[in-house]
Amino acid sequence: MPVYNEAATVASVIAVVLQQPCVQELIIVDDCSSDGSWGALEKIAATESRVKIFHHEVNQGKGAALRTGISKAGASLVLIQDADLEYDPNEYETLIAPILSGKADVVFGTRFAGGAHRVLYYWHFVGNKFLTMLSNMATNLNLTDMETCYKVFKREIIQKITIEENRFGFEPEITAKVARTEVRIYEVPISYYGRTYAEGKKINWRDGFSALRCIFRYNFLR
Protein backbone atom coordinates (compact mmCIF):
# COMPACT_ATOMS: atom_id res chain seq x y z
CA MET A 1 0.00 0.00 0.00
CA PRO A 2 1.67 3.23 -1.13
CA VAL A 3 0.64 6.25 0.95
CA TYR A 4 1.06 9.92 0.20
CA ASN A 5 -1.00 12.46 2.15
CA GLU A 6 -3.95 10.15 2.80
CA ALA A 7 -4.50 10.89 6.50
CA ALA A 8 -8.24 11.29 5.92
CA THR A 9 -8.73 7.75 4.58
CA VAL A 10 -5.74 5.54 5.35
CA ALA A 11 -6.95 4.25 8.74
CA SER A 12 -10.33 3.30 7.28
CA VAL A 13 -8.73 1.48 4.36
CA ILE A 14 -6.32 -0.39 6.63
CA ALA A 15 -9.18 -1.51 8.86
CA VAL A 16 -11.07 -3.01 5.90
CA VAL A 17 -7.92 -4.62 4.49
CA LEU A 18 -7.14 -6.34 7.79
CA GLN A 19 -10.69 -7.71 7.97
CA GLN A 20 -10.03 -9.87 4.90
CA PRO A 21 -9.27 -13.48 5.89
CA CYS A 22 -6.66 -13.89 3.14
CA VAL A 23 -4.44 -11.01 4.35
CA GLN A 24 -1.30 -12.34 6.02
CA GLU A 25 0.63 -9.08 6.03
CA LEU A 26 0.07 -5.46 5.04
CA ILE A 27 3.17 -3.62 3.89
CA ILE A 28 2.73 0.15 3.82
CA VAL A 29 5.21 2.63 2.36
CA ASP A 30 4.71 6.27 3.27
CA ASP A 31 6.16 8.38 0.46
CA CYS A 32 7.14 11.37 2.62
CA SER A 33 3.63 12.49 3.53
CA SER A 34 3.24 15.93 5.07
CA ASP A 35 -0.33 15.66 6.42
CA GLY A 36 0.12 13.39 9.42
CA SER A 37 -0.25 10.09 7.56
CA TRP A 38 3.02 8.74 8.98
CA GLY A 39 1.97 9.41 12.56
CA ALA A 40 -1.31 7.59 11.96
CA LEU A 41 0.57 4.65 10.48
CA GLU A 42 2.93 4.44 13.46
CA LYS A 43 -0.03 4.18 15.84
CA ILE A 44 -1.63 1.41 13.80
CA ALA A 45 1.60 -0.56 13.39
CA ALA A 46 2.20 -0.42 17.14
CA THR A 47 -0.99 -2.41 17.78
CA GLU A 48 -1.25 -4.63 14.70
CA SER A 49 1.48 -7.20 14.07
CA ARG A 50 0.49 -7.79 10.44
CA VAL A 51 1.19 -4.15 9.53
CA LYS A 52 4.75 -3.32 8.50
CA ILE A 53 5.51 0.32 7.73
CA PHE A 54 8.36 1.97 5.81
CA HIS A 55 9.07 5.63 5.18
CA HIS A 56 10.66 7.54 2.30
CA GLU A 57 12.60 10.62 3.36
CA VAL A 58 11.90 12.29 -0.01
CA ASN A 59 8.68 12.09 -2.02
CA GLN A 60 9.34 9.93 -5.09
CA GLY A 61 5.97 8.70 -6.35
CA LYS A 62 3.70 5.66 -6.37
CA GLY A 63 6.04 3.49 -8.41
CA ALA A 64 8.91 4.14 -6.01
CA ALA A 65 6.72 3.27 -3.03
CA LEU A 66 5.64 0.04 -4.72
CA ARG A 67 9.25 -0.82 -5.50
CA THR A 68 10.08 -0.55 -1.80
CA GLY A 69 6.97 -2.41 -0.66
CA ILE A 70 7.22 -5.29 -3.12
CA SER A 71 10.84 -5.90 -2.11
CA LYS A 72 9.67 -6.39 1.50
CA ALA A 73 6.81 -8.79 0.71
CA GLY A 74 6.93 -12.25 2.24
CA ALA A 75 3.48 -13.70 1.52
CA SER A 76 2.93 -15.96 -1.49
CA LEU A 77 0.68 -13.43 -3.29
CA VAL A 78 1.24 -9.69 -3.67
CA LEU A 79 -1.82 -7.44 -4.17
CA ILE A 80 -1.57 -3.69 -4.72
CA GLN A 81 -3.98 -1.54 -2.69
CA ASP A 82 -4.22 2.25 -2.78
CA ALA A 83 -4.66 4.17 0.47
CA ASP A 84 -7.85 5.92 -0.60
CA LEU A 85 -11.39 4.55 -0.79
CA GLU A 86 -11.60 4.09 -4.57
CA TYR A 87 -11.12 0.29 -4.47
CA ASP A 88 -12.89 -2.20 -2.20
CA PRO A 89 -10.76 -4.72 -0.25
CA ASN A 90 -13.87 -6.88 0.19
CA GLU A 91 -13.19 -8.05 -3.37
CA TYR A 92 -9.82 -9.67 -2.56
CA GLU A 93 -11.26 -13.19 -2.65
CA THR A 94 -12.56 -12.55 -6.18
CA LEU A 95 -9.18 -11.17 -7.26
CA ILE A 96 -7.07 -14.04 -5.96
CA ALA A 97 -9.48 -16.85 -6.95
CA PRO A 98 -7.98 -17.47 -10.46
CA ILE A 99 -4.52 -17.88 -8.90
CA LEU A 100 -5.68 -20.11 -6.06
CA SER A 101 -7.55 -22.33 -8.53
CA GLY A 102 -4.38 -22.79 -10.57
CA LYS A 103 -5.64 -20.92 -13.63
CA ALA A 104 -3.56 -17.74 -13.41
CA ASP A 105 -0.24 -16.31 -12.26
CA VAL A 106 -1.25 -12.62 -12.45
CA VAL A 107 -4.71 -11.05 -12.10
CA PHE A 108 -5.84 -7.57 -13.17
CA GLY A 109 -9.03 -6.13 -11.73
CA THR A 110 -11.05 -4.33 -14.40
CA ARG A 111 -13.33 -1.37 -13.74
CA PHE A 112 -14.90 -1.68 -17.19
CA ALA A 113 -16.46 -5.14 -17.15
CA GLY A 114 -19.70 -4.75 -15.26
CA GLY A 115 -18.69 -3.86 -11.70
CA ALA A 116 -20.42 -1.03 -9.84
CA HIS A 117 -18.67 2.29 -10.32
CA ARG A 118 -19.12 5.92 -9.47
CA VAL A 119 -19.89 8.08 -12.52
CA LEU A 120 -17.16 10.70 -12.93
CA TYR A 121 -14.89 12.10 -15.63
CA TYR A 122 -15.65 11.13 -19.26
CA TRP A 123 -12.23 12.14 -20.57
CA HIS A 124 -10.49 10.06 -17.89
CA PHE A 125 -12.49 7.08 -19.18
CA VAL A 126 -11.50 7.87 -22.76
CA GLY A 127 -7.86 8.28 -21.75
CA ASN A 128 -7.85 4.97 -19.88
CA LYS A 129 -9.36 3.12 -22.84
CA PHE A 130 -6.91 4.75 -25.27
CA LEU A 131 -3.86 3.90 -23.15
CA THR A 132 -5.13 0.35 -22.63
CA MET A 133 -5.61 -0.04 -26.39
CA LEU A 134 -2.07 1.16 -27.14
CA SER A 135 -0.67 -1.09 -24.43
CA ASN A 136 -2.58 -4.06 -25.83
CA MET A 137 -1.32 -3.36 -29.33
CA ALA A 138 2.24 -3.39 -28.00
CA THR A 139 1.91 -6.43 -25.72
CA ASN A 140 -0.65 -8.45 -27.72
CA LEU A 141 -2.80 -8.78 -24.60
CA ASN A 142 -6.55 -8.14 -24.59
CA LEU A 143 -6.86 -6.29 -21.28
CA THR A 144 -9.75 -3.90 -20.72
CA ASP A 145 -8.14 -1.86 -17.91
CA MET A 146 -4.36 -1.65 -17.97
CA GLU A 147 -4.36 1.34 -15.58
CA THR A 148 -6.22 -0.44 -12.78
CA CYS A 149 -4.75 -0.28 -9.29
CA TYR A 150 -5.84 -3.81 -8.41
CA LYS A 151 -3.16 -6.14 -9.71
CA VAL A 152 -2.26 -9.44 -8.02
CA PHE A 153 0.96 -11.36 -8.60
CA LYS A 154 2.56 -14.54 -7.42
CA ARG A 155 5.37 -13.16 -5.29
CA GLU A 156 8.16 -14.94 -7.16
CA ILE A 157 7.00 -13.31 -10.40
CA ILE A 158 6.75 -9.70 -9.26
CA GLN A 159 9.96 -9.80 -7.22
CA LYS A 160 11.93 -10.88 -10.28
CA ILE A 161 10.83 -7.75 -12.15
CA THR A 162 12.83 -4.54 -11.75
CA ILE A 163 10.47 -1.57 -11.33
CA GLU A 164 12.02 1.56 -12.83
CA GLU A 165 9.19 4.10 -12.93
CA ASN A 166 8.71 6.30 -9.88
CA ARG A 167 5.21 7.62 -10.58
CA PHE A 168 2.08 6.26 -12.25
CA GLY A 169 4.17 4.96 -15.15
CA PHE A 170 4.35 1.80 -13.04
CA GLU A 171 1.10 0.57 -14.64
CA PRO A 172 2.19 0.40 -18.31
CA GLU A 173 5.70 -0.61 -17.25
CA ILE A 174 4.61 -3.60 -15.20
CA THR A 175 2.08 -4.62 -17.85
CA ALA A 176 4.77 -4.67 -20.54
CA LYS A 177 7.22 -6.59 -18.36
CA VAL A 178 4.65 -9.14 -17.20
CA ALA A 179 3.54 -9.70 -20.81
CA ARG A 180 7.11 -10.59 -21.79
CA THR A 181 7.30 -13.30 -19.11
CA GLU A 182 4.45 -15.19 -20.82
CA VAL A 183 2.70 -15.92 -17.53
CA ARG A 184 -1.02 -16.63 -17.36
CA ILE A 185 -2.94 -13.37 -16.92
CA TYR A 186 -6.60 -13.12 -15.93
CA GLU A 187 -8.99 -10.18 -15.54
CA VAL A 188 -11.87 -10.06 -13.08
CA PRO A 189 -14.53 -7.33 -12.76
CA ILE A 190 -14.25 -5.02 -9.75
CA SER A 191 -16.25 -2.10 -8.42
CA TYR A 192 -14.78 1.40 -8.42
CA TYR A 193 -15.59 4.42 -6.27
CA GLY A 194 -13.49 7.11 -7.93
CA ARG A 195 -12.62 10.39 -6.27
CA THR A 196 -12.77 13.91 -7.63
CA TYR A 197 -9.72 16.17 -7.52
CA ALA A 198 -11.36 18.05 -4.66
CA GLU A 199 -11.50 14.76 -2.76
CA GLY A 200 -7.80 14.09 -3.27
CA LYS A 201 -7.33 12.43 -6.65
CA LYS A 202 -3.67 12.83 -7.68
CA ILE A 203 -3.24 11.49 -11.23
CA ASN A 204 -3.32 14.22 -13.92
CA TRP A 205 -2.87 14.80 -17.66
CA ARG A 206 0.91 14.78 -17.34
CA ASP A 207 0.72 11.20 -16.13
CA GLY A 208 -1.21 10.34 -19.29
CA PHE A 209 1.66 11.56 -21.45
CA SER A 210 4.09 9.71 -19.18
CA ALA A 211 2.08 6.52 -19.75
CA LEU A 212 2.48 6.97 -23.51
CA ARG A 213 6.23 7.26 -23.03
CA CYS A 214 6.27 4.14 -20.86
CA ILE A 215 4.26 2.09 -23.34
CA PHE A 216 6.79 2.94 -26.04
CA ARG A 217 9.86 2.57 -23.82
CA TYR A 218 9.10 -0.76 -22.15
CA ASN A 219 7.65 -2.45 -25.22
CA PHE A 220 9.88 -1.28 -28.05
CA LEU A 221 13.16 -0.04 -26.55
CA ARG A 222 13.86 -3.14 -24.45
pLDDT tens figures, 96-114: 999 999 999 999 999 988 7
pLDDT of 18 reads 98
Provide the residue ranges of all domains of the chain, joining segments of one domain with +: 2-220
- Complete DSSP assignment for the chain: -EESS-TTTHHHHHHHHHTSTT-S-EEEEE-S-SSSHHHHHHHHHHH-TTEEEEE-SS---HHHHHHHHHHH--SSEEE---SSSSS-GGGHHHHHHHHHTTS-SEEEEETTSS--B----HHHHHHHHHHHHHHHHHH----S-TT-S-EEEEHHHHTTSPP--SSTTHHHHHHHHHHHHT--EEEEE--B-PPPTTTT----HHHHHHHHHHHHHHHH--
Indicate the fold that domain 2-220 takes in CATH: Spore Coat Polysaccharide Biosynthesis Protein SpsA; Chain A (3.90.550)
- Does residue 148 have a pLDDT over 80? yes
Give this prediction's pTM: 0.90
pLDDT, mean of residues 129-133? 95
pLDDT, mean of residues 130-147? 97
